[in-house]
Chains A and B, each alone.
Chain A
Amino acid sequence: MQNLKVIAQGARYRGGNPMWSWLLHRVTGVGMVLFVVAHITASFLTQRFGSGAGMAINAVYESPAFQLVMYFCVIYHALNGLRVIILDIRPSLMRFQRETLWLQWLTFVPIYALAVLLILLRAASGE
């Protein structure tokens, strides 16, 4: 109960677009940690031992749905991280934080759209 309250407080932290980008950065970051752990483990098992367990994990992230989610995580986390680094180098740009967020989404959309297109084309071709 105590933990739920803390999480609820954390989820409401400050509010608005900057809050959601901060929260999304966390969620996508944790998501990628879980994926990379599974990815390396599966590759290791497959390569070393030709393991069926490794192949089974591979099959999960070969699915288009998984790839759509993981591409979102990677591209979002990369662009948002880059934005944070730029704002850290030039703190005076913090005045335009909301504008930098819109710019980030404007950059995100075409890159992610291209990724989605490639994933769906591959899925459609049944490769």
Chain B
Amino acid sequence: MTTLNASASPAARRTVRPIPQGRNRFERAMWLFMRFSGLALLFLALSHFGFQHIIVGTHRLTSEDTIVRWGLAGESITISQLFWRLYYGVMVLLAMLHGLNGLRQVAYDYLKNKTVYNAFMAAAAVLILAVTTMGVIALIVGVNASGATAAITR
């Protein structure tokens, strides 16, 4: 009795999902994507949180800071504004794909009925695509002056 749990095989004790072997290239690609996007999001999301909560403050979410950082629609864009738009662009794309694949794994485990699973995933994909589109449009176009002003003065 040198080790605890000696009866359990290493595979049975393993709870971290190993890289999928075999010919399923999609699953292997997604496995790698989850690790790499997760690592990137660790820095992106936590810096976004730190910035918004500690430096800006949550209660000024609709304030002028966003206009300064992103720039207004129709105006020429500075290097700093380009940086922030790329930062948020990368974050929204990685986060949405990471979330969609996470939902797929959860749904695969719990929704055993194939029709229910397909319907759920179709709805999730449409929702994620719609949200990603909104985020990307806002980043490409820039802040809408009249909309943002209405929100600030409200």
Give the interface of A toward B (CB within 8 A): 2-3, 6-7, 10, 14, 18-19, 22, 26, 29-30, 32-33, 36-37, 40-41, 43-44, 46-52, 54-55, 58, 61-62, 67, 71, 74-75, 78, 81-82, 84-85, 87-88, 91, 94, 97, 115, 118-119, 122, 127
Contact = CB atoms under 8 A, between A and B. Distances in A.
Contacts of B14: 94
B20 interface: no
Contacts of B109: 6, 10
A73 B137 CA distance: 27
B6 interface: no
A55 B13 CA distance: 48
Contacts of B95: 36
B111 interface: yes
Contacts of B58: 61-62, 67, 122
Contacts of B35: 85, 88
B72 to A, nearest CB: 11
Chain B contact-residue range equals 35 or more
Say whether chain A's binding surface is mostly helix, strand, loop, or mixed: helix
Interface of B: 10, 13-16, 18-19, 35, 38-39, 41-42, 45-46, 49, 53-54, 57-59, 61-62, 66, 92, 95-96, 99, 102-103, 106, 109-113, 127-128, 131, 134-135, 137-138, 143-144, 146-151, 154
A29 B102 contact: yes
Nearest to A33: B99
Contacts of A37: 127-128, 131
B135 A78 contact: no
Contacts of A47: 66, 138, 143-144, 147-148, 151
A37 B100 CA distance: 11
5 contacts: A40-B92, A48-B147, A50-B151, A52-B154, A97-B13
Which residue among B10, B61, B128, B135 has the maximum number of chain A CB atoms within 10 Å of its CB? B61
Contacts of B19: 88
Contact of A58 (B62, B66, B106, B149): B62
Given A6-B112, A40-B134, A48 B144 contact: yes
A74 B58 CA distance: 16
A51 B151 CA distance: 7
A88 B45 contact: no
B149 A94 contact: no
Which residue among A48, A52, A94 has the maximum number of chain B CB atoms within 10 Å of its CB? A48
Given A44-B138, A48-B138, A52-B154, 17 more contacts: A14-B15, A26-B106, A29-B102, A36-B96, A37-B131, A40-B135, A47-B66, A49-B147, A55-B151, A75-B46, A78-B41, A81-B42, A85-B38, A94-B13, A94-B14, A97-B15, A127-B59
